[in-house]
Amino acid sequence: MIITDTHTHLYSDAFDEDRAEMIQRAIDANVTRFFIPAIDSTYTESMLQLEKDFPEHVFLMMGLHPTSVKENYKEELRIVDDLLAQRKFCAIGEIGIDLYWDQSTLGIQIEAFRHQINLAKQYKLPIVIHCREAFDEIFEVLEQEKSDDLYGIFHCFTGDLQQAQKAISYNMKLGIGGVVTFKNGKIDQFINQIDLKHIVLETDSPYLAPKPFRGKRNESAHIYKVLEKLAELYGKSHEEIASITTENSKAIFGI
């Protein structure tokens, strides 16, 4: 059984004390594919080191996270441009709009999002979308930019059934993580109405740990709790959920 974590920040300083051991725990638990989203240039060196240390397991994205879209965003986007021109990445991500922390940057967040969508089209890569309190704004951009060659993952999906269906209509798979195990997460109330072909697994570690680890540091091995919950909701075996979601990740990332 192969389990794929489509979104994990393995370079986070939360793992500085035990990174290698934490990754090995995940590998021992059959989580053998780790897709690593970018945030901004301050993490690039750490990401490249991860790939060097775990070349068979770690796959890197490139992009500028919406909460890092600040005064220097044009400089950060130039770095993204340059890195994409220099070497291969598996996706453009994580990109999008976040209105939880700062609504004043909405205009430049949209500009950065649109710029990176165009990079994805240019390099024929998927996008990995970060959306926090910004479904309407994200959908507006996707509606304007939609095309057959725009596809990817709606990371950490926390919307309702209608929003899930809308995301899927834009060629997006839904990244399902620890929130599906929360009592107040609400995703568990409708997710089994979505065909499994649209679902991928993720942790977003070190954030959003599933029950019974909620409130603690998340890690990729904990993705098993997400898998268990989906198996319960869909009435499928753990092996089936792992197989289908891993194949879905391969369809997106080409790896």
Annotated ligand binding at 160? The verdict is no
Mean pLDDT over 199-207 rounds to: 98
Write the CA distances from 61 to 21, 34, 99, 244, integer angstroms: 23, 11, 23, 22
Q: Which residues contact 17 (CB under 8 A, 6 or more apart)?
A: none
Q: Percentage of the chain surpassing pLDDT 90?
A: 98
Q: Is 202 annotated as a binding residue?
A: no
Strand order in 172-176's β-sheet? 92-98, 127-132, 152-154, 172-176, 199-201
Question: Nearest 5 degrees, angle CA 185-CA 191-CA 192?
Answer: 140
Mean pLDDT of 110-121: 98
34 close to 53: Cβ distance less than 8 angstroms: no
Task: Identify which of 88, 104, 10 has the alpha carbon closest to the alpha carbon of residue 49.
Answer: 10
Share of the chain above pLDDT 70, in %: 100
* Mean pLDDT, range 205-210, rounded to an integer: 97
204 is in an annotated binding site: yes
pLDDT at 5 over 90: yes
In tens, the pLDDT along 63-100 reads 999 999 999 999 999 999 999 999 999 999 999 999 99
Q: How far apart are CA 14 and CA 101, in angstroms?
A: 21
7 is in an annotated binding site: yes
Read off the pLDDT of residues 138-186 as tens digits, 9 standing for 90 and up. 999 999 999 999 999 999 999 999 999 999 999 999 999 999 999 888 9
- What does the pLDDT read at residue 241? 98
Is residue 232 scored above 90 in pLDDT? yes
Q: What is the pLDDT of residues 123-132, one digit of tens each?
A: 999 999 999 9
How are beta strands 92-98 and 58-60 bridged, if at all?
Answer: unpaired
CA-CA distance, 56 to 64, in Å (whole number)? 25
Residue in this structure with the two tokens 């994805």, named with its chain if needed:
120
- Site of tokens 């950065």: 112
Question: Is the CB of residue 127 less than 8 Å from the CB of residue 150?
Answer: yes
Helices (H) and strands (E) in the chain, counts: 8, 8
Token pair of 130 as six digits: 């970060």
Q: Is 155 annotated as a binding residue?
A: yes
Residue 127: predicted pLDDT: 98
What does the mean pLDDT of the chain come to?
97
Alpha carbons within 13 angstroms on the beta-carbon side of residue 19 total 15
Residue corresponding to tokens 């939880």: 100
User: 0.95 cut: is pTM over it?
Assistant: yes
User: Could you tell me the residue ranges of all domains in the chain?
Assistant: 3-253
pLDDT, residue 184, reads: 87
Q: What is the pLDDT of residue 185?
A: 83
| Arch. (CATH architecture) of 3-253 | Alpha-Beta Barrel (3.20)
DSSP letter assigned to residue 196: G
**Unique residue bearing structure tokens 């798979």:** 173
Q: Above 90 in pLDDT, residue 53?
A: yes
